[in-house]
Amino acid sequence: PDLFEAPDYYLLDDLLSEEHKLVRDAARSWVKRDVSPIIEEYAQKAEFPSQIIGGLAEIGAFGPYIPPEYGGAGLDQISYGLIMQEIERGDSGVRSTASVQSSLVMYPIYAYGTEEQRKKYLPSLASGEMMGCFGLTEPDHGSNPGGMTTNFSDKGDHYLLNGAKLWISNAPFADIAVVWAKNEEGRIHGLIVERGMEGFSTPETHNKWSLRASATGELIFDNVKVPKENLLPGKSGLGAPLGCLDSARYGIAWGAIGAAMDCYDTALRYAGQRVQFDKPIAGTQLQQKKLAEMVTEITKAQLLAFRLGQLKNEGRATTAQISMAKRNNVDMAISIAREARQILGGMGITGEYPIMRHMMNLESVITYEGTHDIHLLITGWDITGISAFK
């Protein structure tokens, strides 16, 4: 059976351009051919399938909206979203790799870097020859990155970087890290740290039950000498990393729909075929309630993501609007995964079906890029004008 029957209950395809559909369909067939057949095995053995890097680059997943002169695909924000949706039908961990590379590594170099930095790094990041990671979170500063203690001091011809980052996607194999650290005045800046610099190490984080096919690690800086030309000069302060998060969170709002669609589609097929008490369980009221609510929630999430994409294309999407979509859509996906798991009964807990893997992955997605609570508080702040963080 075709594994990827996408629900499109409100005929959203009619709102997509030919280019959107081409980009989406290319990503969809690549995921079906190169990701879905192998991903369960890699998740079970907790290994990142590095052989898919070339394919991710080919479908435009590395820097979809970065201009072609720097190697990017030069697509709009809806195409970017659709690519993330298709990749996350495959696996949230694979989408993480693409999100980090595009929005957390290429975007800051593009938006805050010098022309030399753009030319030096962006083309090889777009082609996947170079892989990057993004170091914001620290052991003692997760939701509150402004409290970070990683720091650098000016040593005349270079900077000296000290500190540690935790929970960093792609860290174990990344060639470069975009690292956020405070200078002597306590101002946050981005620095490009390269593998091989003395005093820089990236130990892997083991024993995860979630995002098992994605490599996560630490970044440790022990008196690392960073050349001065590796500082991103275009923007400083907490707003610089938060600006990258706007773009990554937007991609996640679309990505989560992919995971939800895969769970829904699997459950719908299973319910149609599974016979108990002499009839398909899809004919029982309780299972219909679950399936009907799933497709309703997916449809609402699609509309939210699509409208947000339009606003993003026009440069009008606010951080708070992005928070609402990330929070709603990831929560929608995790609820659907849990319900879909139940529809499959005992089979739902096995690796024969993708649901349990999506469900466990989404436990990370609901926490990273701002937790479910943090996004609610961003909405609360936006509508009341009073920050609950201070």
367, interface contact from ligand TGC, ligand FAD, none, CB < 5-8 Å by kind: ligand FAD
Confirm or reject binding of residue 190 to ligand TGC (CB under 6 A). Answer: no
CA 343 to CA 114: how far, in whole Å? 53
CA 328 to CA 370: how far, in whole Å? 13
DSSP strands (E only) in the chain: 132-135, 151-154, 158-169, 176-182, 188-194, 200-201, 216-227, 231-232, 275-276, 279-280
219 forms beta bridges with: 165
Nearest-approach distance from CB 252 to ligand FAD, in angstroms: 11
**In this chain, which stretch among 131-139, 157-165, 196-204, 303-311 interacts with ligand TGC, using CB under 6 A?**
131-139
Confirm or reject binding of residue 136 to ligand FAD (CB under 6 A). Answer: yes
Neighbouring C-beta atoms of residue 154, cutoff 10 Å: 11
In the chain, the N- to C-terminal Cα span, in Å, equals: 53
Nearest-approach distance from CB 166 to ligand TGC, in angstroms: 10
Confirm or reject binding of residue 371 to ligand FAD (CB under 6 A). Answer: yes
Is 369 one of the annotated active-site residues of the chain?
yes
Catalytic residue among 138, 218, 297, 369: 369
| Contacting residue, 75, 148, 193, 211, with ligand FAD by CB under 6 A | 211
- Return the number of the residue (332 or 366) whose C-beta is nearest ligand TGC: 366
User: Binders of ligand TGC: how many residues, by CB under 6 A?
Assistant: 26
- For residue 17, give Cα distances in angstroms to 5, 26, 316: 20, 14, 20
Among residues 168, 175, 202, 197, which one has the least CA distance to residue 53?
A: 175
CA 142 to CA 136: how far, in whole Å? 8
| Contacting residue, 77, 79, 85, 99, with ligand TGC by CB under 6 A | 99
Interface positions, 300-319, toward ligand TGC (CB under 6 A): 319
| Contacting residue, 67, 139, 146, 283, with ligand TGC by CB under 6 A | 146
Confirm or reject binding of residue 111 to ligand TGC (CB under 6 A). Answer: no
Among residues 41, 37, 48, 13, which one has the least CA distance to residue 90?
A: 37
User: Binders of ligand FAD: how many residues, by CB under 6 A?
Assistant: 21
Cβ atoms of 48 and 93 closer than 8 Å: yes
Interface positions, 151-190, toward ligand FAD (CB under 6 A): 167-169
Residue in the shown chain whose Cβ atom is closest to ligand FAD = 142
Phi, psi for 151 (deg, rounded to 5): -145, 160
**Residue at token pair 């490009």:** 192
CA 302 to CA 295: how far, in whole Å? 10
Grouping H, G, I as helix, E, B as strand and the rest as coil, residue 386 is: coil
Confirm or reject binding of residue 368 to ligand FAD (CB under 6 A). Answer: yes
Confirm or reject binding of residue 143 to ligand FAD (CB under 6 A). Answer: yes
Grouping H, G, I as helix, E, B as strand and the rest as coil, residue 252 is: helix
| Contacting residue, 77, 79, 96, 329, with ligand TGC by CB under 6 A | 96
164 forms beta bridges with: 220
- Return the number of the residue (321 or 361) whose C-beta is nearest ligand FAD: 361
Residue in the shown chain whose Cβ atom is closest to ligand TGC = 239
Confirm or reject binding of residue 367 to ligand FAD (CB under 6 A). Answer: yes
| Contacting residue, 75, 78, 100, 166, with ligand TGC by CB under 6 A | 100
Tokens matching residue 105: 């590594």
List CB contacts of 241: < 8 A, sequence separation 6 or more.
108, 134, 136, 145, 180, 188, 190
Confirm or reject binding of residue 373 to ligand FAD (CB under 6 A). Answer: yes
| Contacting residue, 7, 74, 123, 145, with ligand TGC by CB under 6 A | 145
Instruction: Write out the catalytic residue numbers.
Output: 369
Binding footprint of ligand FAD on the chain (CB under 6 A) = 100, 133-137, 142-143, 167-169, 211, 216, 364, 367-369, 371, 373-374, 389
Residues near ligand TGC, by CB under 6 A: 96, 99-100, 134, 136-137, 143-146, 169, 237-239, 242-243, 245-246, 248, 319, 368-370, 374, 378, 389
